[in-house]
Structure 1
Amino acid sequence: MSDNSPAWGSAARGAVALSVLGMVGVVALTIYSVPTLQAIPELAVLSYPTLVLVAAANSTILLVIFVALGTVTAPRTGLHSHVFAWASGGSPDWDAFRRSLPLAVGLGAVVFILVTVLDVAFAPFTGLKLVEPTGDAAAFEDLIASIPMRLLYGGITEEILLRWGVMAPIAFVCWGLRNRLRERTKTPPAAVMWIAIVASAVAFGVGHLPALASTFELTTALIIRTILLNATVGVALGWLFWRRSLETAMVAHAAFHVVLVTVSAVGTLIF
């Protein structure tokens, strides 16, 4: 197993850069979440700064942990981040990133279409409506308010957590186990990478269940639907991380949400 990781000092700088980038999304999520916390009677007595700390604490801790895990494993498995490379004194290929932008945006839009088709197929079994026919101005305002959270936390922070912090460690562990059982390889084989892609994608889907459970009663069909739809997105993003870069996956994730918000806004206004 080859060691392509930078020296610890350089790696630490890369980890700090990714953590700072991820905190942008944490801040967006916190700002969006505080009004919900203020509506809870037990928390309403707390000051706004205290509520901000409460809302940000868990996400910040997770971000630090998963950035550290990815920093140890991603460079060793050949998974690449331009931001990490730049901060750690490596050679970020920004031209390659720019060339990947059309692919990222296009794949984000295509995956949205695929997920929508799957959601329609599951609708008879879950009872969920794709567009709530309310025409409620409050629902539209909440959708608009969620845009920074969707683009920054979803597009940036979730990719750092799930791809950098989950997919890379899974690939590293699976590659190590494979090298113990078979002939050693200098880079992870495609089979190992696909295991990591799918496993992290399923984790991405499972991670959406707690939020769903706060609104709906979880049924078997709803659980399968939620994991499958989000895992479909996760597989596409994991492939981009593997074949392009972490930042390319971020752009695709953000593009997915841009299309989602646009369609949802139009649907809310029409219906």
Structure 2
Amino acid sequence: MSDEASTWRAAARGGVALYVLGLVGVGALAIHSVPALRAIPELAALSYPMLVLVAAANSTVLLAVFVALGAATAPQTGLHSHVFAWASGGAPDWGAFRRSLPLAIGLGTVSYALVAVIDVAFAPFTGLESGESVAGTAALEELIASVPMRLLYGGITEEILLRWGVMAPIAFGLWWLRNRIGERTEAPSTAVLWVAIAGSAVAFGAGHLPALASAFALTTALVVRTVLLNAIVGVALGWLFWRRSLETAMVAHAAFHVVLVGVSVVGMLLL
């Protein structure tokens, strides 16, 4: 077997591992979406398993595409995943991952605090209350029901989609372009990686607009607020992917949601 074929086989194994991991989040999102789908008259007669499959269909395909894009580009840019390394026959450094956990949890917590403060500042312009009520969760039961989706889809699958599947290809594309028109480098520059971090962060923010549009009439202020707040978190997660690993970014993303839910539950109970 040629070295190139061996490399592609290893990348395919790593991609499959990340894909399976991402499907956990897809399943959580699909299960969370079933009540909304059942309220659609055309789908009301479908069985529960069929509704789950319908809810998971688009995300399952998109996940495959973005995993493949990341598998083809991330290893070449130095962006790292322990799961990908393990499955592809590399050397995952689980000790480094464990040492990164306090940083991930801390950055997830700080990101929530920063977003909460900016959200309050935006409230007079958007006409919406700041905090969890903006996301449309009016009842404590609904908030608790969303926890698996937040932790598994948000914490795991969104990181595979946005950091692995968007940030890595942007970094690779810009690096490739720079090598074509300028002096060739062995790895992407810091500037290239920051552009990739920013680009994937803005995509992360824009990706939240469709869900927002289903609950509110979009205004310029509301669009700016939603993209900005999520992009701030996306920058932090992208930096962790670059400097630590994809899995570290996953932990930080999950930590953000843990703090968000905790603060929201306390707020609801005190009202």
Provide the rounded CA distance (Å) in 2 between the counterparts of 1:231 and 1:138. 24
1:120 aligned partner: 120
Q: Which amino acid aligns with 2:74?
A: A
Runs ≥4 in structure 1, deviation > 4 angstroms?
Answer: 3-6
Q: Distance in 2 between matches of 1:117 and 1:6?
A: 50
Equivalence for 2:247: 247
Partner of 2:221: 221
What's the offset of the Cα at 1:130?
2.2
Quick one: distance in 2 between partners of 1:76 and 1:94? 21
**1:13 matches 2:13:** yes
Name the amino acid aligned to 1:31. I
Scaled by the length of structure 1, the TM-score of the pair is: 0.95
Structure 2 residue identity aligned to 1:167 = M
Partner of 2:230: 230
Maintained 8 Å contact 2:116/2:131? no
Q: Structure 1 CA distance, aligned partners of 2:204 and 2:107?
A: 18
Query: Judging changes above 3 Å, is the alpha-carbon distance between structure 1 residues 151 and 132 closer, same or farther for their aligned structure 2 residues?
Result: closer
Aligned identity (percent) is: 76
Residue 144 of structure 2 corresponds to 144
Question: For the residues of structure 1 that align with 2:138 and 2:256, how far apart are their CA atoms?
Answer: 23
**TM superposition shift of 1:8:** 1.0
Moved more, 39-48 or 186-195: 39-48
Letter in 2 for 1:26: V
C-alpha separation in 1, matches of 2:4 and 2:130: 46
Work out the CA distance in 2 between the residues paired with 1:4 and 1:130. Answer: 52
| Residue aligning to 1:69 | 69
* 1:49-97 deviation line (CA, Å, top 9, x unaligned): 2111100000100100000000000000000000000000000000000
Is the contact between residue 5 and residue 76 of structure 1 (CA under 8 Å) also seen in structure 2? no
Conservation of the 8 A alpha-carbon contact between 2:132 and 2:264: no
Describe the SS at the equivalent of 2:41.
Answer: coil
Structure 2 partner of 1:100: 100
Preserved contact between residue 24 and residue 152 of structure 2 (Cα < 8 Å): yes
Verify: 1:48 aligned to 2:37, yes or no: no
Query: Conserved in 2, the CA contact under 8 Å of 1:167 and 1:238?
Result: yes
- Find the counterpart in structure 1 of residue 209 from structure 2: 209
Q: Secondary structure at the match of 1:215?
A: coil
Residue type of the alignment partner of 2:198: V
Alignment match, 2:29: 29
Counterpart contact for 1:85–1:91, Cα < 8 Å: yes
- TM (normalized to structure 2)? 0.95
Alpha-carbon distance between aligned partners in 2 of 1:249 and 1:132, rounded to the nearest angstrom: 22
User: What SS does the aligned partner of 1:74 have?
Assistant: helix
Other structure's SS at 2:79 match: coil
Whole-angstrom distance in 1 between the partners of 2:5 and 2:98: 24
Instruction: Call closer, same or farther: CA 1:6–1:193 in 2, change over 3 Å.
Output: farther
- Distance in 1, Cα, partners of 2:6 & 2:123: 48
Q: Deviations over 1:199-236 (max 9, x none)?
A: 00000000000000000000000000000000000000
Find the aligned partners of 2:71 and 2:65 in 1 and give their Cα distance. 10
Q: For structure 2, which runs of at least 5 residues remain unmatched after alignment?
A: none
* Inter-partner Cα distance in structure 2 for 1:51 and 1:85: 35
- 1:88 aligned partner: 88
Q: Which amino acid letter does the alignment assign opposite residue 144 of structure 2?
A: I
- Letter aligned with residue 124 of structure 1: P
C-alpha root-mean-square deviation of aligned residues, in Å? 1.7
Residue 179 of structure 1 deviates from its aligned partner by 1.0
